[in-house]
Structures are given as C-alpha cells and as structure tokens.
Amino acid sequence: MHSLTRVEAVERAGLLTVDSYDVELDVTGDGGWFRSTSVVRFHAGRAGASTFVDVKPARLVAARLNGVPLDVATLDGDRLPLPALRERNELVVEAEMAYSNTGEGLHRFVDPADGEVYLYAVSFLDAAPRVFACFDQPDLKAPVTLTVTAPAGWLVAANGAHAASAGGRHTFATTEPLATYFVSLIAGPYHARHEVHDDVPLGLYARRSLAVELDKDADEIFTVTRQCLDRFHELFGVRYAFGKYDQAFVPEFNAGAMENPGLVTFRDEYLFRSVVTDSQRQLRATTIAHEMAHMWFGDLVTMRWWDDLWLNESFAEYLGVRVTAEATRFRQAWTTFAMRRKAWGYIADQRPSTHPVAPDEVADAALALLNFDGISYAKGASVLRQLVAWLGDEPFLAGLRAHFAAHRFGNATLADLLGALSEASGRDLAGWADAWLRRSGANTLRAEVGDTVHIVQTGEPPRPHRIGIGVYDGGVLTRRVEVDIQGGRTRVPDLAGDLLLVNDGDLTYAKVRLDYGSADAVARIGDPLARALVWASTVDAVRDGDRPVADLVALVDAALPAETELVVIEDVLRMSTDLVRRYLTGAQRELALRRVAQACERLLAGALPGGSHQLAAVRGLVAAGTDAARFRGWLTGVDVPDGLKVDADLRWELYHRLAVLGAAGADEIEAELAADRSATGEQWAARCRAARPDPVAKERAWRVLTADTTLAGRLVEACAEGFWQPDQAVLTESYVERYFAEMPAAARLRTPWVADRIAAVAYPRYAVAASTREMAAALLARDDLGPGLRRVVVDSDDDLRRALAARTRQQTI
C-alpha cells in the first residue's frame, strides 16, 4: 500500500476541486465484507490531466469515469488511476470492502455478552478508502451524502442527520464540507438517549449490553456536553456548525475518541461498569471537551496537511482542559494537566525521536501518524497557554474568531493562524513561533539563590518564558511574582521563603528543578496545583537520573498519605511503582515496593469509605503489594475494607496481580471470564493469561503477539501488557532476543497503528541490560524497518539507557 506524500497531495489539490461524495453502503451480508458504491463529482483544473483515487477494496468490482469503464486491473495497491480528466467529472466506484478488527475502516465487533453484531467506521488517518473511494487528504473537503442498507431492527447513525428509512435502507442529510478522515457511521442494535440543548439535538449511543451503564451516566454526560457547548459558544462567538451532536461509545476503539462532526466516537470504557475514581470521570469530561473543541479546530477549519497537526491537537488539548476547568465541576483540570499530561510531553520531548510542535515538513501520511504524541498534544497545549499569558485572553480569542471567519469550512496553515493572532494582538509572533513551534526540546529552569536570585535556564535553544515564582512559608503562599525569562540567566526580584516554586501557576512549558529541601516540603503546601508541580518535578528528576529513586520512595512514604489531590495520588503511585521496577533490582526493589505499599496502607486507613481516595489507595496497594492471601480474601469477601466494592474491574485487577505472583491458575482465570463474558472481561483475561509465570502461558501469549491476526488489536495489546513482569526475568529471558528477531515480521502483519502500539507495549522494558541495548542497535542498523517500529525501538532503547544508568548507581532504600 502507498502512503500519500505531501508532494503528491499538493499536486492533487492544485488540480482538483471535489464537489461532492455520494456513498452507498450495504452491510446486510453475513460474510467478512460489505458492499460500497461511491459517486465522486469533481472539477479538474486542466482537461486531459490524470490523477488517482484512493480505494482499498477486498475486491474492486467496477469503476466508471464519466461513463467510461476503467480497467480494474490497473488498481495499484490502494490507488486507481484516473486518466483523461474533463473539466467536470463523475467517478463511480463499486467495491467489496473487508470489515476490520483493528479499529480502522469499518470495524466489526461481535459482543461476547449477547452475540450481537456492531459496526462503526473510523476514517482517520488514511482509513477512509477502506470504506469508500475518495481523494483522501485533508485539504480536499466536500459534502457527503450517505446511504446505508442494514439488517432490519438495526440503528444506523452518521455525520449527517437521519433523513429517511424504509426497508432497512437509511438515508442521511448531506453534510457540510468534510475532510475524508471525518466520515463515520455506526450500525447495529445500539441503545440510544436523546435530548436537545440550545437548538442542537444531542444523542448518546452504546451497544445494548451497556444500556444500563449508558442510562446511569447519561445525565452526567449530557450535563458536561451542555456546559462545554455553552462555553465554546461564549469563547468563540461562532456557533457549532454541524447540526446534531451525537456521541457514540464504541467497542475496541484505538484512541480515546475521534472528532467526527455530528458523530463523535469514544472508546466505550468511558461508560463505567464498575466503581471509578473521580479523576476517571474528569478524564471523560476533558475528553468530551477536547473532541468538542475539534468542531472548530480541525472540523470547521482543517489543517491543509499533517505538518500543521498542532492546529488540531494542541488547540483541542488546551481548550479541552481550559473549558473543563471553567465550565464543569472539574475545576482542578489544570492540576491534572500539570501532573499527567505535561509529563507525557516532557518525556516525548527528551527522546531521540523528538520533533517540533509544528515541523517544517511531514513527508507522508505514515510519518504523520508518529506525531500523535505528547509533543503535539501536551507540549503544544502548554505552549498555547504560555502564548495566552503573553498576548492576553481577549486578543487571543479575537484572533481565533477572525481565523474561523476567514477559513470557515476550509483549510488553513500555521501562517494563517499566526497572521490572525498578530493582527488581533498587535504583536509580531514570528520569533515566538520559531522558538516554540519550529524547534524541539525542553528547557529546564531552576532558582539560584545567593546574594541575589537568578533563574537559570538550560537546554537548547533557550526560550522566552513568562513564569510565576511563588514564595511559600510553612506551606502558605506569601508572595507571587510574574517575570519574563530570557536567555540562560535572568535576575529576578529577591525572594526568601521555605520554598521558591519556579513556574508557580504552571504558565510555561519547562522542566523545573528544586533543591532537595524544597521538594521535601511538598506535604505542607496548601495549593493543589503547586503540590502537583513539586511532585511532578521530583518524579521527573528521578526519571532523568538527577535524583535517586530512594528519594522518591522516601517522599512517597512520608508525604503521599497526607495528599488530598486525587490525581496526584494516582499518578505518583503509578509513576513511582514503574520507576522502582525499572530502576532497582533484587532486594532493593522489593524493599522499595514494600514502602510504597505501606504508604498505600496509610492512605487506605485515612480514606473515606466508598470514596475515590479509598479506591486509589487499594489500586496502588494491589499494584505494589505481594500479600496474595489478603487479595484472595477480598475476592471471597474476607476482610474487605469498609465501603470498598469488589466489583468486576477490581476483581480483575486482583486476579491480574495474583497471576503475576503465580497465585492464580489458568482455571481460575477462565472461571472469572465465564462470570464476566464481556469485551472488558475478555481483555482482562488475555492480560492475566499472559502474566502468569508459566512457560506454556508465555509461549501461547507470544504467538498471539507475533502471529495471530484473527484477534482484535485491543486483545493483542492486552496480551502484550501482561507479558513482561520484572520478577519473571529468568522465565522471559529468551523472549528478549525473540522480540528483536521476530517483531519486524510481526509488524508487517498488521496495520501501522495497531502494529506500532503492540510493538511498544511488547517491548522488553524490564530487560535492563547492555545486551538488550546491543540487540536494539543491531535491529536499528537494518534498512527494512517501518518508521513506526523504528521509532518504538529508538524511544524504548532510550528509556532502557536511563534505567541502566540508574542501576549502575548505588541506591539504598
């Protein structure tokens, strides 16, 4: 298959104007394929020119250009040549398309709970031609009219409003101009909820086996949707432009969600079947706000090519967090962003694969997929927050409104947006864009206190920063100043206190280093965002090797039981446990995990029964603990903490930990699956089977990872998540070499999105040894690696480099 290059896209966009797509799908068959007929009407700038249409069929049945049959044998992979174009053209393509199990194209899912079949379409990034023939690039937008013939009794929804149905044939209203990667639909016995807000019809969909979960959470989801919609209207002064606003929760979805106008799709784990923490509800709310932000950034105005991905994802990330914090009950969304999302950005920005937020060029669509990372999302959002602090909110919003007006239903570039913001603010943004958008890498800031106070900036290139500096005495903020940082060393007002918190308020994108005493004062700080920044700085310093893991473990032991901010508790436990397992060995690792578990015990003892903090403490205890008898007792109702509900998902967490410890056998896992015959249960069972310290179980799991294409991608990913365990190094030693020998061929069996994810999760991250790095280097020396696998190995090897360096130091817990 070809990957569309930027050069080809520019050439085709210069030649063509697409007028419309009429797409008819027939999904009534019971085989592995469906029927697709596409009628594409378009203009060509030069009569007699030639081009190609993108189509990825199981079988190309027929094609006609302006009534003249095309030779289907000329199909080259996923490109059908179109010769001798006229000024006005009509292309008709009939094809049999394969259903997918990878979450791309038209995904087909059989619900293990009741045997019902569900379909949903994912056209991102280059998957639209798996559903219909099209000119698949962001800047050839056109209205879409969809017709779907489906089995009787099925619900069908799409981007456009449902216009008519008869005899299983469903017709949808013609949409506003869409990029091809936004075209979507759902079909099956979906359960639905509807209401109207501010003249916008709202819909929620989920498969029938999740009807109870959807009904239970519908009020909260609708409330967040209404609040976000109102706030976006207030901020932008431009109404939502795509008619109805449906949100469908679909199975085996690869991403968190996808911003299809009129029919946003979410992974259906966002419908909670078990008790969850409030931070999980906040994540759902932020995801709803993020996808809604795309209705303006991405959908109303679409990037011209993938090098301007930041116009989509960075803006949606920034606005999603901002609107969640401003409009919903989740007022601490920026604390979560500081603790969780920015760490993702800093990690990505320090790896060998780092790239600018807005790279000068993305050569083709395959390379574009690699940039959906912490840089395009978290760093880009942080940079925008810094820009707003510099420009002021009103000039920033005025520039956005002008941008929407100038490019409504069209495409735009970085230069277009910077021009609008410059005109609205009166500031030249060329230098800002060069420093923040065109150059990669993260800076580090620290306070140097002597006779005077300086902020020292390291990292290339040095950037301008607008930061807050907070002075804390006894945990109380006594003074806060905002200063502009330039170059490597900037003098600031003389400040004195127990703690000088650089980047107080988290206005800029920069790693922060604190002196040891400042970091250890975290428990006394009253402001949750400030505490999150101190915790995040400490974890980051440990990850970089600037502080030993022992310091983090001691801080967890001393301060975490008193922490009140939920996301801080969850993320510190997750990250510290991970660092301990990778950076320590043997008795030191066991002792460190025991201290983390003890901190969880104290958290649990002080937590409100039945509350989020109790559940977070229990999850941390299960992840770090080794008391198999206690965990097994909870499964049977023995000595369960007051208020704790040992429901389906917590039961699986317990079984997974027992499987890792060798305390849960294959029969027990299958019995639990029999009691929870659901998609989530199947994924947990796959994870548990792979986690067992049993040679036969490991070999079976490895065959799934490297050879089985019959299973859905999410099931294979779950298997990879369970496979490597730090205490099973001897058992899995031979698979380290097998990863580097077998993963290239395994990656070629799957689509890039799925293959790259599995390769990353299946990497031998606990095989911290020079020999692992040598095998990685040998693999990278090959010239037949796909770009996704190459990046996975480069980045994972860099993580191993850090872990290996940490293990060479003497660390005493």
Kindly give, in sequence order, each residue whose CB lies less than 8 Å from that of residue 586, ignoring residues fewer than 6 positions away: none
Q: Give the strand pairing for 302-303 and 411-412.
A: parallel
Question: Dihedral sign, CA of 759, 677, 613, 555?
Answer: negative
Annotated catalytic residue 682:
no
Cα separation, 579 vs 567, whole angstroms? 18
Kindly give, in sequence order, each residue whose CB lies less than 8 Å from that of residue 192, ignoring residues fewer than 6 positions away: 155, 203, 204, 205
Question: Dihedral sign, CA of 377, 382, 383, 388?
Answer: positive
Residue 318 one-letter amino acid = Y
Phi, psi of 540 (to 5 degrees): -65, -40
Element (H, E) at 500: strand 499-502
Find, among 610, 608, 543, the residue nearest to 572 by Cα. 543
Cα separation values, 782 from 45, 317, 744, 775, 776, Å: 43, 37, 10, 11, 10
Cα separation, 813 vs 591, whole angstroms? 7
Beta bridge partners of 54: 79, 134
Cα separation, 571 vs 553, whole angstroms? 14
Give me 292's structure tokens: 């809604």
CA atoms within 13 A on the CB side of 30: 2
Cα separation, 686 vs 664, whole angstroms? 14
Kindly give, in sequence order, each residue whose CB lies less than 8 Å from that of residue 524, ignoring residues fewer than 6 positions away: 472, 474, 475, 498
Find the catalytic residue in 176, 291, 563, 717. Answer: 291
Cα separation, 462 vs 54, whole angstroms? 44
Cα separation, 318 vs 229, whole angstroms? 16
Beta bridge partners of 266: 249, 257
Q: What is the 8-class DSSP label of residue 488?
A: S
Phi, psi of 646 (to 5 degrees): -85, 80
For 67, other C-beta atoms within 10 Å of its C-beta total: 7
Find, among 132, 135, 127, the residue nearest to 16 by Cα. 135
Give CA torsion, residues 255, 261, 262, 265, to 10 deg. 0
3-state secondary structure of 210: helix
Q: Which residues are catalytic?
A: 291
